[in-house]
Structure 1
Amino acid sequence: MDAFEFMNVVGLVAFAMVGSLKAADADLDLFGVTVLGILTALGGGTMRDVLVGRTPASLQSVGEMSVAFVGVGLAVVLTRAIPDRLRDHPSVLLPDAVGLAAFAATGALVGSQAGLSPYGVVILATLTAVGGGSLADLLLTRVPVVLREDFYATPALFGGVVFWLLLRLDVTGDTAALVCAGLVFSVRVLALRYDWELPRV
């Protein structure tokens, strides 16, 4: 399993859990929980693939959908063990940080393999990381978290920039992706821990 495959599986499970837990927090039924979990898991990757002109990976085999269902199942189990509101519970925040990191790395990898400009690589890393969660927030009729929390998309931007810089230094794509993911996860967790935010207008 190469870096892309590993990060993709991690991201799918993590974001499927996050989307499902958000849906449970909004008191949706089992179908709604499943739909939101799948959308959160597959949304960013689908946008990524469409932008580079290829058929979304989720439509080419049953693999990605199956992995996402695993994340939904884990979330359903967790809802039985976690009381009250889930949105700010570590069971949501930590998988969300993991998914953000993993998908930023896959987006950067796909962007570099597609021959995108440095700007394109960074944008694709960010969009892959935040796309699915933004779609889920819209279905829940709330402003996407990426527009409310400055240090949600910002770590993905940082990760995309560092990924590109490492490639310029002749670091392999797999190594650059792992560093990207580690950086995104670390910055996101630190932002949660210390309530970092950018200046408001």
Structure 2
Amino acid sequence: MVNDLIFPDILLYLLDMIGVIACAIAGTLLAQHKGLDISGCILVSMVNAIGGGTLRDMALDRHPLFWMTDLNYVIVITVTSLILQMFFHLYHKIDNALKLFDAIGLAAFSVIGFKVALTQDMSPVIAVMMGVWTAIIGGLLRDIICNEIPLVLQREIYITASIAGSVTYLFLQYLGINAGINEFIMLFVIFAIRMLALKFDWHLPSIRLVA
């Protein structure tokens, strides 16, 4: 998935795996909470962890898909889900745990999707969009499968956090800041905004026209 990126491969690969593990945990937590069986939990964790990256690569015409050429993704997701299912009883605060791992996945995948698009010579607008897609599509599909109203559709500071991180990266890039530093700042900005939104109950307003 990250073989052709400019920034040192090992760091982005590690970042990618952190996002995969976080999303596998979030997916398994929700699936287990909904009473799905072993295979159902693994399926939901797969969708959550690689769904966004898959759609992004299809949109950018990047083939073969990253998880088809690197089985580490499938292995890590499966092992993470199985371990978590065995120790699910330790996660009694399902909502807090789910949102924490969601925030980690949101930040990591936003950076990966954004950088992949830039290395494909896409415009900044498309790069921002690909960062959002990579970060939210998996969670969107996860919630639909589990019969939940997707978090991203509930006035949550979610897509906004991803966009804010991408814009921060572009601004720092304009100032001539090193790309590697920009990526970690982008990661921190997204995670911080998402966690602050959860802590202080920030929500986007809805627009209602008076009849």
TM-score by length of 2: 0.88
Residues 1:174 and 1:77: Cα distance change in structure 2 (over 3 Å): farther
8 A contact 1:3–1:178 mirrored in 2: no
Range with greater deviation from structure 2 (180-189 or 159-168): 159-168
Range with greater deviation from structure 2 (143-152 or 168-177): 168-177
The two structures, once aligned, show a CA RMSD in angstroms of 1.6
1:72 aligns with 2:78: no
8 A contact 1:40–1:132 mirrored in 2: yes
Give runs of aligned pairs for residues 113-124 of structure 1, distance below 5 A: 113-124=119-130
8 A contact 1:152–1:188 mirrored in 2: yes
What per-residue deviation string (whole Å, max 9, x for no partner) do you get for residues 12-38 of structure 1? 000000001110111111111110011
1:111 aligns with 2:122: no
8 A contact 2:26–2:101 mirrored in 1: yes
Residues 1:187 and 1:32: Cα distance change in structure 2 (over 3 Å): same
Number of the residue aligned with 2:53? 45
8 A contact 2:52–2:134 mirrored in 1: yes
Distance 1:172 1:183 in 2: 16
AA aligned to 1:104 is S
Count of aligned pairs between the two proteins: 198
Distance 1:69 1:173 in 2: 32
Give runs of aligned pairs for residues 70-109 of structure 1, distance below 5 A: 70-83=79-92, 86=94, 88=95, 90-109=96-115
Please tell me whether Structure 1 or Structure 2 has the larger radius of gyration of its CA atoms. Answer: 2
8 A contact 2:38–2:82 mirrored in 1: no
Out of 60, 76, 85, which is 2:69 matched to?
Answer: 60
AA aligned to 2:15 is M
AA aligned to 2:188 is G
TM-score by length of 1: 0.92
SS of the equivalent of 2:19 reads helix
Structure 2 gap ranges (5+): 1-8
Out of 163, 168, 178, which is 1:172 matched to?
Answer: 178
Range with greater deviation from structure 2 (57-66 or 32-41): 57-66
8 A contact 1:130–1:153 mirrored in 2: yes
Distance 2:51 2:112 in 1: 13
8 A contact 1:48–1:128 mirrored in 2: yes
